[in-house]
Amino acid sequence: MSALFPALVAGSDRPALRFGADALTYEELAEAAGALAARIADAGRVAVWATPTARTAVAVVAAFLADVPAIPLNPRTGERELAHILGDSTPSVVLAGPEDVLPAGLAELPRIDVGTTVTHVGPVPSALTGGSDGSESPALIVYTSGTTGPPKGVVLSQRAIAASLDALEEAWAWTEDDVLVHALPLFHVHGLILGVLGPLRRGGSVRHLGTFSTEGVARELGAGGGTMLFGVPTMYHRIADALEDDPALVRALAEARLLVSGSAALPVHDHERITAATGRTVIERYGMTETLMNTSVPVGSRPRPGSVGLPLRGVGLRLVEEDGTELGAYDGESVGEIQVRGPNLFSAYLNRPDATAAAFDGDWFRTGDMAVREPDGYVRIVGRKATDLIKSGGYKIGAGEIENALLDHPAVREAAVTGAPDPDLGERIVAWVVLADAEKPPTAQELADHVAGLLAPHKRPRTVHFLRALPRNDMGKLLKKALPEALHG
């Protein structure tokens, strides 16, 4: 077993991170994270207030060094979701920036302010170089939505993180010379594990834009020094929209070594617009919080819009029919559920042995994603098993949790939530509501704010329809497919 972040142990004046004006070399990161690691060494688990700042990176790296599991928190999490996550994961301390104002839900928890500089310069104490690439130690607990109920904590080991990042090294020829540019949130796998821990494992560097903008991408990528761009399809859609009037953005993309999209399908139209304007192809990779990365179009492959590529090194992937039979055909037509196994998989759902057992068929993890395999083995995702899971802006959102939040509003008697196609977000959350008192209707904005306050802003409905009744069958079961008709009923 070797260190998870060799470049951190070695220390150097090479750049590791840059978030706006906050930049740290490997040596500085080792010092800041090492000092913090010493303070949290005895913590059971730590919550990290995961703002898109260098402090989040320092806090997470410190947790790795101290061998303490970290729970990244969305700083916009609403009160109910935050209470659930804290109750479920029971951190003993929260790590935040000195200027961060934490919500009442975190008032009871001891707080440690994270610095990005240390006054005492010295090496990381040898007892605090935890973080080894073969360790089963839980490193991160990342919360993810299911179709019903509150989000589940996905326990990810150091081993899984190292295995997935090393498989991507091979697929993308990712080296210490790469400078990754992105603007992804740091409380999910894409932004935190791929986008921060990925460059650190390679000994390369990351530049985070703080918030996404095409101007930021144009500034940092290409001549700005960035060699790789990671984004969700919504970001590439906005890039495709901007390319026509932005020669600097065209140049930046054309000069980058690698453009990678993931977290949801990038529409073929956006692939084509980007290629037409820049001559570059965007590579798609397919992953999940529970599995980390499963497949990717390898660097150097011919353009494959609509495909998520081949299984990564070490990942077993099969397609399975409804009755459990494995599909052998690589015919580009036979559809089955993707199941995967390999060293990249999570350890368990926290406190949920039932859900963990239900997610597996032997050692195969059931992804719920439906796909075909082309004759050359490339995987094409064609849909999802559960219609109650919505992917909006690259975020996975369960319809059930939003329905429950809506039902908590005094003006709402019944509620149903669906996803509708959206050119920008992929899918948009649509709420269908029956009012308790039709004479006193709340505004759509009021209901959206209510959901944002309880859960998170990205879970708010973007469209609200008011109905006299929800369509149901004779057994009283809700018929979601009949909702659009009910609007005109």
Interface with ligand MCA by CB under 6 A: which residues?
76, 184-185, 188-191, 211-212, 232, 234-235, 262-263, 287-289, 393-395, 425, 448-449, 452, 457-458, 460
217 binds, among ligand MCA, ligand AMP, none (CB under 5 to 8 A by kind): none
Instruction: Give residues with Cβ within 8 angstroms of 101, minimum separation 6.
Output: none
Reduce the secondary structure of the chain to three states and give it as a string: CCECCHHHHHCCCCEEEEECCEEEEHHHHHHHHHHHHHHHCCCCCEEEECCCCHHHHHHHHHHHHHCCCEEEECCCCCHHHHHHHHHHHCCCEEEECCCCCCCHHHCCCCEEECCCCCCCCCCCCHHHCCCECCCCCEEEEEEECCCCCCCEEEEEEHHHHHHHHHHHHHHHCCCCCCEEEECCCCCCHHHHHHHHHHHHHHCCEEEECCCCCHHHHHHHEHHHCECEEEECHHHHHHHHHHHCCCHHHHHHHHHCCEEEECCCCCCHHHHHHHHHHHCCCCEEEEEECCCEEEEECCCCCCCCCCCCEEECCCCEEEEECCCCCEECCCCCCCCEEEEEECCCCCCEECCCHHHHHHCEECCEEEEEEEEEECCCCCEEEEEECCCCEEEECCEEEEHHHHHHHHHCCCCEEEEEEEEEEECCCEEEEEEEEEECCCCCCCCHHHHHHHHHHHCCHHHCCCEEEEECCCCECCCCCECHHHHHHHHHC
Q: How far is the CB of 233 from ligand AMP (least distance, A)?
A: 8
Among 263, 307, 339, 404, binds ligand AMP (CB under 6 A): 263
> Which of the residues 266 through 325 are near ligand AMP (CB under 6 A)?
284-289, 308
Q: How far is the CB of 13 from ligand AMP (least distance, A)?
A: 36
Interaction between residue 404 and ligand AMP (CB under 6 A): no
Task: Give the tokens for residue 180.
Answer: 């990754």
Q: How far is the CB of 444 from ligand AMP (least distance, A)?
A: 26
Compare residues 124 and 186 and give the one whose CB is closer to ligand MCA: 186
Interaction between residue 380 and ligand AMP (CB under 6 A): no
Compare residues 396 and 409 and give the one whose CB is closer to ligand AMP: 396
Interaction between residue 367 and ligand AMP (CB under 6 A): yes
Q: Compute the distance between CA of residue 186 and CA of residue 172 in angstroms, rounded to an integer.
A: 22
Helix axes 26-40, 54-66, angle to 10 degrees: 60
Interaction between residue 262 and ligand AMP (CB under 6 A): yes
185 binds, among ligand AMP, ligand MCA, none (CB under 5 to 8 A by kind): ligand MCA
Compare residues 220 and 369 and give the one whose CB is closer to ligand AMP: 369
Compare residues 56 and 296 and give the one whose CB is closer to ligand AMP: 296
Number of residues interacting with ligand AMP: please give it, by CB under 6 A.
Answer: 19
449 binds, among ligand AMP, ligand MCA, none (CB under 5 to 8 A by kind): ligand MCA
Q: How far is the CB of 448 from ligand MCA (least distance, A)?
A: 5
Interaction between residue 163 and ligand AMP (CB under 6 A): no
Compare residues 219 and 271 and give the one whose CB is closer to ligand AMP: 271
Helix axes 233-243, 247-255, angle to 10 degrees: 130
Among 36, 381, 405, 425, binds ligand AMP (CB under 6 A): 381
Compare residues 65 and 156 and give the one whose CB is closer to ligand MCA: 156
Q: How far is the CB of 56 from ligand MCA (least distance, A)?
A: 14
Contact pattern for ligand AMP over residues 137 through 156, marking x by CB under 6 A = -------x------------
319 binds, among ligand AMP, ligand MCA, none (CB under 5 to 8 A by kind): none
Interaction between residue 88 and ligand AMP (CB under 6 A): no
Compare residues 133 and 284 and give the one whose CB is closer to ligand AMP: 284
Compare residues 205 and 294 and give the one whose CB is closer to ligand MCA: 294
The span of 22-30, 212-220, 262-270, 329-337 binding ligand AMP (CB under 6 A) equals 262-270
Binding residues (CB under 6 A) for ligand AMP: these are 144, 189, 262-265, 284-289, 308, 367, 369, 381, 384, 391, 396
